[in-house]
Amino acid sequence: MQLRDSGAATRKRRSRDGLFQRNGWWWVDYYDADGKRHRKKAAPDYQTAKIIYRDIKTKIAKGEVLGVRDENIRLREFVEKRYWPTVKAGLSASEQVRSTAILNKHIVPRFGGLKLVGLRREAIESWQSERLAAVSGSTANKELMRLKHLLNRAVAWGYLKASPAKAVKKAKEAPGRVRYLADGEREALLSGANPTLRTYIVAALNTGGRRGELLALRWDDVDMKAGTVTFRETKNGDRRVVRMNKTLKALLASLPRPINGDTHVFPQRDPLVLTRNFARLVRRLGMKDLKFHDLRHDVASRLTMNHVGQRAVVEVLGHRDPRMTMRYQHLAPDHMRDVMEVLDPSRTDTERQCGTSQH
């Protein structure tokens, strides 16, 4: 009886008020706001450990009252420990690079030291105004969208009650670039490029693929029997399937196909090297204001001028928002001239019907 009482007394001394003793140290034992149990080494003496324990319980209680999990977490810590490790897996390789640059160069340096709960709309709009003085509206909007996404995740995960960026409006963007290829330019590019660059140009002009999507394409994503190419590493993260035309099929059939399906389809180049090589080709050919990405514009324009429906063009380009596709659908002046001929009152009904059927 005495032995049991002695043991009970010993256990009572070693485990009190959410604390327990192990190897001469006191540990805290508690459940966080998500119901997850934690056991952490606190202090060598009971009184200090008790203070630490009460501080932890107070923070949890404040979170429940204020509606946030940790009112002291700063934006830098949230990005490094919560946000980026979670969201980066859902982004393509190119989008990871772009987002990392935005976070590390602009968002974290500006707001990293602030507590999430202390970030205000005024500070965000002030930052946006400064960025607009230095970069284009499109660039500033991309940075703002990354900050908005970050803060929306903080709300979803319980670190904020509401996003201070929710009501911040995007800046007005300049009209999209109007650049597509004339037939002569298309032929000049193909005949003037070296074999590797020509391979990429042909692929871009016959898929509408972005530079990064073409670089990431692997043989497992090419189905010669079904006649399809699947882009898995896309800008928006959505898988996209494109049907092969005869030109693309002939190009892919001419390339050596290794046994390992995880091998890249096209000769690997650094993305910037590919861009610079294309720029040198354009300068040598005397073409003005033409970038590799404009080959994608050209695909949209040619599809539209050949009466391909809006929905099909959206699927080829892989846009989530059809309005984005419309920015690419620049119609050639000659095409628009012929379209407007349909309205000419001097034309006969037969001529008007023929014109309509052609366009």
* Global pTM value: 0.56
Domain identity same for 312 and 349: no
Residues whose CB is less than 8 angstroms from the CB of residue 151 and which lie 6 or more positions away in sequence, other chains included: 116, 119, 160, 163, 164, 165, 166
Asked whether the predicted pLDDT for residue 176 surpasses 80, the reply is no
Domain identity same for 314 and 226: yes
pLDDT for the residue numbered 357: 45
Domain identity same for 205 and 287: yes
| Contact status, residue 294 vs residue 180, Cβ threshold 8 Å | yes
Domain identity same for 217 and 301: yes
Asked whether the predicted pLDDT for residue 21 surpasses 80, the reply is yes
Q: Has residue 42 been placed in a domain?
A: yes
Q: Has residue 162 been placed in a domain?
A: no
Quote the CA–CA distance of 175 and 345 in Å, as a whole number: 33
Q: Has residue 338 been placed in a domain?
A: yes
Number of domains in the chain: 4
Confidence of residue 329 (pLDDT cuts 50, 70, 90): low
Which strands form 240-243's sheet, in the order they lie side by side?
A: 222-223, 228-231, 240-243
How far, rounded to the nearest angstrom, does the alpha carbon of residue 174 sit from its chain's CA centroid? Answer: 21
Domain identity same for 26 and 123: no
65-87 per-position pLDDT tens digit: 445 566 788 999 999 999 999 99
pLDDT for the residue numbered 9: 41
Residues whose CB is less than 8 angstroms from the CB of residue 27 and which lie 6 or more positions away in sequence, other chains included: 19, 20, 21, 39, 40, 41, 42, 49
Q: Has residue 10 been placed in a domain?
A: no
What's the CATH code of the domain at 297? 1.10.443.10
Name the average pLDDT for the chain. 82
Asked whether the predicted pLDDT for residue 264 surpasses 80, the reply is yes
Would you call 265 exposed, middle or buried from its count of C-beta atoms within 10 A (0-12, 13-18, 19+)?
buried
Domain identity same for 31 and 121: no
pLDDT for the residue numbered 276: 92
Confidence of residue 125 (pLDDT cuts 50, 70, 90): very high
Domain identity same for 83 and 61: no
Q: Has residue 169 been placed in a domain?
A: no
* Stretch 164-176: mean pLDDT: 83
Domain identity same for 89 and 100: yes
| Contact status, residue 305 vs residue 331, Cβ threshold 8 Å | yes
43-65 per-position pLDDT tens digit: 899 989 888 888 888 877 665 54
The bridge status of strand 222-223 relative to strand 15-16 is: unpaired
The residue range of the domain holding 148 is 75-156
* Stretch 128-133: mean pLDDT: 93
Domain identity same for 195 and 231: yes
Confidence of residue 270 (pLDDT cuts 50, 70, 90): confident
Q: Has residue 120 been placed in a domain?
A: yes
Quote the CA–CA distance of 317 and 297 in Å, as a whole number: 10
Domain identity same for 188 and 289: yes
Q: Has residue 189 been placed in a domain?
A: yes
How far, rounded to the nearest angstrom, does the alpha carbon of residue 201 sit from its chain's CA centroid? Answer: 24
Q: Has residue 8 been placed in a domain?
A: no
If one compares 176 and 291, the residue with the highest pLDDT of the two is: 291
Domain identity same for 93 and 192: no
Quote the CA–CA distance of 9 and 22 in Å, as a whole number: 16
* Stretch 132-137: mean pLDDT: 89
**Nearest residue to 290 via CA among 281, 280, 282, 301:** 282
Domain identity same for 104 and 125: yes
Confidence of residue 94 (pLDDT cuts 50, 70, 90): confident
DSSP-derived secondary structure letter, 116: G
